[in-house]
A and B are shown apart, each in its own frame.
Chain A
Amino acid sequence: MPIQIIVEKCTGCTLCLKACPFDAIRMMDKKAVINYDKCTLCGACVPACKFKAILLQKEVCPVKVDFKDYKGVWVFAEQKKGKVQPIAFELLGKARELAADLGTEVSAVLLGNRLEEEIQELIWRGADKVYVAERLELANYQDEPYTNVIVELINKYKPEAFLCGATSIGRSLISRIAIKIKAGLTADCTELAVDREKKILLQTRPAFGGNIMATIVCPNYRPQMATVRHKVFPEAISDMKRKGKVIRENFDGAILNSRTRLLDIIDEIESTVNIADADIIVAGGRGMKAPENFKLLEELAKALGGAVGASRAAVDSGWMPYSHQVGQTGKTVCPKVYIACGISGQIQHLVGMQSSGTIIAINSDSFAPIFKVANYGIVGDALEILPLLTKKLKEVLKR
């Protein structure tokens, strides 16, 4: 197996046992032993061992490919109804930093129909080149034609990195592309950087519900692909002086075929309270006691121009609709300010909101885990504090 315990170095300290997320290490005669039926080779034990007694062979099957031809950082410019989505501008900002470190340029890939103004905006936001494919068949996202077209473009122009939003479109699309061209893909990166020596992308993402962070690399395959969630990186600022090149590609025939057919797009009114887009979220949990108390949250959110979120407990109790749920089984949010009222802060909830800018927690239980991530903690009754806070805030904002 590619992972081994070097028995001579193992001191039996059991640190690796605690680090293993799969319960795959046991002590036997005061030495660590790996249960290969359970081990997934995740590598969590390797840095945990202070004695360098665990060996994980990474280069078990060296693939030597010449990557000289692969150049440039690409960004998938997701558009809906002809409008490029903000996630593309967020990725462009990051792509510029990466391209600077790699000494290369940034390109955007835009598929759709009649997108003239959008092309210009992509250049202003940081694209040196924009690859454009315009066809009626590409007007709305469809897995197969989009995949086929982008695979063609990648094969032709050979980018070294490809970034895509972790949206419902992006996640579906990039997974198909990565399989087709056999490329490595890292989902939901919270940090992207460049290893200046090896000139490869360092993709960092949370694992195990945010309990550990993993840095993923993909040295032997190109392009290096990653998705990033909405609002993780700031949008690139539009600079109308920027110039760029537009490269139009024409596609025809079978490449545009789709076995799925989009019949209808229905926008629901509910999405106007899209908490994933809100800068301020006032969220409530079981500690709000009753559904009618969510009015207190709504009033504060209104005063702040924010949205109302809810914990799973509150949603499961039927106090708020699912679209407001924050956390692992709900939405991941990253507002400037997150106010958690009567939310204890189970790990599933924390995963969905802990990257928020400022976290304010109000909870009557001083031991609630939410206080571990809060910048400001208030041990008290949210039902009592909220109405007063809304009143004071209105006064303060008027001044």
Chain B
Amino acid sequence: MTQIELRGIEKFFGAVQVIHNLNLAIADNEFIVLLGQSGCGKTTTLRAIAGLETIDKGDILIDGKAVQHLKAADRDIAMVFQSFSLYPHMNVFENIAFPLRATRMGSGEVDKAVREVARVLRISDLLEKKPSALSGGDMQRVAIGRALVRRPKAMLMDEPIGALDAKLREEMRAEIKRLHVKQGSTTIYVTHDQIEAMSLADRIVIMHEGFIQQVGTPDDVYSRPANLFVAQFVGSPVMNIVEAGVAGEANAARVSIGEAPGGFEFPRELLSKLNGHSSGGLTLGIRPEGVLVRREAAPGYMPVEAQIIEPLGSFDIVDLKVGSKMLRARTKAGYVSGPGEKVHARIDPEQAHFFDTASGKSLGVRL
């Protein structure tokens, strides 16, 4: 039962401010992922919660109690490091037992607790081994075991699977999820990998240059990005972002891109929802799966030319030339035969996002 609250956190490294007025409330048992590029302040935030980094302003509350002046040891929080930080001279058992022995727990209890955790993590047969003899995934399991064994108030994870190869990463991702569901503890997880964030998080906190950009469920940040940064950071392949102009017609609205004649057809209610943003300073965001492509002409579809095709196995990404701009569309594998082919495209109004070009903020238009 642990709630964590961050209130007005500010942090400077010398003259550089790395965290700007950060506010966040984390509920009990919640799995929170701090997502952002390297240098965005996510790891610093995590280390500040852990007590490995001081903060210059603000409060860190754990269960309502301010802890920013407490040492790491007094916050009762466990952490899994990116480098695993296993003690190289101790075997797996001693590594997992370390936090228990450090607080003078009786040896019988230690033994029981360590074996129980090892069983949950399926590393019971590795207890006698040294970390140097373990694979990356097993080292990770041991690091998680060391964090879990003392039943901490909260678990902090700093890119815990970032150092593993792709296949193992996927495996460990599933395992972390399984553990969280089973053990249920408040978890803060730092990563730069949006797929990890999407698959693990109850809520994602997207950070950029020390500011929180958006806090929301994976669905929120994917389907309703708050600004251009979030729109481009979340989702793969990346969302198309193009300047757009809007014009009204009798019973439709036309969104034109890159001075292409005609423009894409949208429902007429777009005009009222845009509320004055109809000309100038408008940016359209559309994910590749929102760009619909077909070979034959059809009402609402615009003729375009395919330029580059990236086959990605289960689907292709096709670059379409629309006026002077490019739109990336997602099609069935092999649907567009080759570069230069003339196809027809439409933008699915339901998947379109509109942003204010100057501020980058979403206009919140849903159709």
Q: Do A and B bind each other?
A: no
